[in-house]
Amino acid sequence: MRFSRYFLPTMKDTPSEAQIVSHRYMLRAGMVRQASAGIYSWLPMGLKVLRNIEQIVREEQNAAGCNEVLMPTIQSADLWRQSGRYDDYGKEMLRITDRHDRDMLFGPTNEELITDIFRREVKSYKDLPLNLYHIQWKFRDEVRPRFGVMRGREFLMKDGYSFDVDKEAAELAYKRVFVSYLRTFRRMGLTAIPMQADTGPIGGDLSHEFLIQADTGESEVFFDSDIVERDVFSADLSKPEAANEAFDYLTSAYARTDETHEQSLYEAQVPEERRRQRRGIEVGHIFYFGTKYSEPLNGLVMNEQGQEVPVHMGSYGIGVSRLVGGIIEASHDERGIIWPEEVAPFHIGLINLKTGDDACDQACEGLYSKLSAGGVETLYDDRKERAGAKFADMDLIGLPWQVVIGPRGLEKDEIEVKNRATGEKEVMSMGAVLNRFLGA
């Protein structure tokens, strides 16, 4: 992509409405613009990152045996009346009336709708276990939308739902998702810490939040450093023993601050030198709630004994749009964003220090077309701008690699390659640059 043709409206100055670093950088790097309170338009570079995150989530869900569906954003109120949540949900739910005076709503979550799909199609334990997920916009009329996309009113969520014939099978499904979530976040360059959680309006008695470490996080979490360092993620989740073992290991030593009981458990289990305390941002939340929805909504299946029983369910959420902000909170410096490779909007930022200079233009154009042909996503800064402005923009948008071509270096076949994360610079020939990024 050529910068001159890319819709990337960067800003030098710090927007006054943004209180936290990710919000400031998302606005300054031209990723999003506010449409109304807690509601955002995604501009090309923000959208690219959002899609990259979404794709990692999708691949890991599919790898864990989940099936992707797509349910609508607008739901009928009837199902929510059956589950009893129509009144319970209160003002957070955006209620809509259609032209026939029917009560509709913009979905804040989908437990009811997925149970409706299930009850129409699935009748027997033989069709279980089943896990259905979708990646769809939600609306929650938060009292205080803030921090940009981190606490929006409209936001993108991956929500998945598991169906099992009994509690034991349902708990195993829960554990599989649990481990697959840690893998998902790890692929995004994040270490997520699971923490026992309250269930709130979703309900149930078993629940975990997944927190990524960032100073601006809203929750405090204690954990065992050994857990985030040891690799239990390679467990084969199709094997019950492996999923059980990984889950037991990973949940053995986390605690939240406000619960004295857990605090002492944590201190009993974790040697002092491995105790860590951090602030965290909740990027995922999972629930096992048994028959809370299947009972009122008649989500029944025939079990092995030939009896009709309400199906056991869990639900599993990842804040896809929140993750865009969360990753920036976890990975930035005073000059801008530092994208982990896996979610970066482009791999390389190519800077032409003197657009209009024949030699520079030729070298940059040649490199840009070779990288593009080789499938290496490159943002080529071909604008007629001062070098300083180009450097500042490139640091701000945080692509993993910067390749800098200027007239003086070119005379000696010298190109500068900078790693955005470490700041390390290397000077190399055009041939070496091609070799580095194209392996040719």
* Binding of residue 316 to ligand P5A (CB under 6 A): yes
Select the span of 42-50, 55-63, 312-320, 353-361 touching ligand P5A (CB under 6 A): 312-320
> In angstroms, what is the minimal distance from the CB of 410 to ligand P5A?
46
Residue 49 in 3-state DSSP?
Answer: helix
Q: Are 326 and 212 in contact (CB under 8 A)?
A: yes
At residue 215, φ and ψ (nearest 5 deg) are -60, -30
Phi-psi region of 30 (alpha: psi -120 to 50; beta: other; left: phi over 0): left
* Binding of residue 300 to ligand P5A (CB under 6 A): no
Select the span of 226-234, 276-284, 385-393, 414-422 touching ligand P5A (CB under 6 A): 276-284
Selected from 284, 336, 349, 406, the binder of ligand P5A by CB under 6 A is 284
> In angstroms, what is the minimal distance from the CB of 245 to ligand P5A?
25
Sites for ligand P5A among residues 111-150 (CB under 6 A): 140, 142
Binding mask 37-76 for ligand P5A (x = CB under 6 A): ----------------------------------------
Binding mask 320-339 for ligand P5A (x = CB under 6 A): -xx-----------------
Q: Are 310 and 319 in contact (CB under 8 A)?
A: no
* Binding of residue 282 to ligand P5A (CB under 6 A): yes
> In angstroms, what is the minimal distance from the CB of 399 to ligand P5A?
25
At residue 232, φ and ψ (nearest 5 deg) are -110, 10
* Binding of residue 310 to ligand P5A (CB under 6 A): no
Tokens describing residue 90: 């209160």
Select the span of 283-291, 329-337, 353-361, 414-422 touching ligand P5A (CB under 6 A): 283-291
* Binding of residue 202 to ligand P5A (CB under 6 A): yes
Q: Specify the residue, 139 or 339, whose C-beta has the smaller distance to ligand P5A.
A: 139
Q: How far is the first Cα of the chain from the last one, in angstroms, to the nearest whole number? A: 22
Select the span of 19-27, 186-194, 314-322, 373-381 touching ligand P5A (CB under 6 A): 314-322
Q: Specify the residue, 202 or 404, whose C-beta has the smaller distance to ligand P5A.
A: 202
* Binding of residue 276 to ligand P5A (CB under 6 A): no
* Binding of residue 285 to ligand P5A (CB under 6 A): yes
Q: Give, in order, the Cα–Cα distances in Å from 171 to each of 119, 211, 251, 339.
A: 21, 21, 14, 35
Between strands 67-68 and 130-139, the pairing is parallel
> In angstroms, what is the minimal distance from the CB of 20 to ligand P5A?
14
> How many binding residues for ligand P5A (CB under 6 A)?
20
Buried b (16+ CB within 10 A) or exposed e, 352-373: bbbbebeebeebbeebbebbee
Contacts of 106 (CB under 8 A, 6+ apart): 73, 74, 75, 93, 94, 96, 138, 139
Q: Specify the residue, 57 or 157, whose C-beta has the smaller distance to ligand P5A.
A: 157
* Binding of residue 224 to ligand P5A (CB under 6 A): no
CA distance 185 to 280: 14
Q: Are 398 and 422 in contact (CB under 8 A)?
A: no
Q: Specify the residue, 321 or 352, whose C-beta has the smaller distance to ligand P5A.
A: 321
Select the span of 1-9, 18-26, 281-289, 290-298 touching ligand P5A (CB under 6 A): 281-289
Residues facing 314 on adjacent strands: 162, 288
Q: Specify the residue, 24 or 322, whose C-beta has the smaller distance to ligand P5A.
A: 322
> In angstroms, what is the minimal distance from the CB of 297 to ligand P5A?
15
Which secondary-structure segment (H or E) carries 183? helix 167-187
Phi-psi region of 21 (alpha: psi -120 to 50; beta: other; left: phi over 0): alpha
Report the residue closest to ligand P5A, judged by CB.
319
Cα-Cα-Cα-Cα torsion 63, 67, 71, 77, nearest 10 degrees, comes to: -110
Q: Give CA angle at 310 (306, 315), nearest 5°.
A: 135
Buried b (16+ CB within 10 A) or exposed e, 179-193: bbbbbbbbbbbbbbb
Q: Specify the residue, 290 or 319, whose C-beta has the smaller distance to ligand P5A.
A: 319
* Binding of residue 155 to ligand P5A (CB under 6 A): yes
Among 67, 287, 290, CA closest to 166: 290
> In angstroms, what is the minimal distance from the CB of 207 to ligand P5A?
9
Query: Interface with ligand P5A by CB under 6 A: which residues?
Result: 109, 140, 142, 151-152, 155, 157, 159, 202, 282-285, 287, 315-317, 319, 321-322
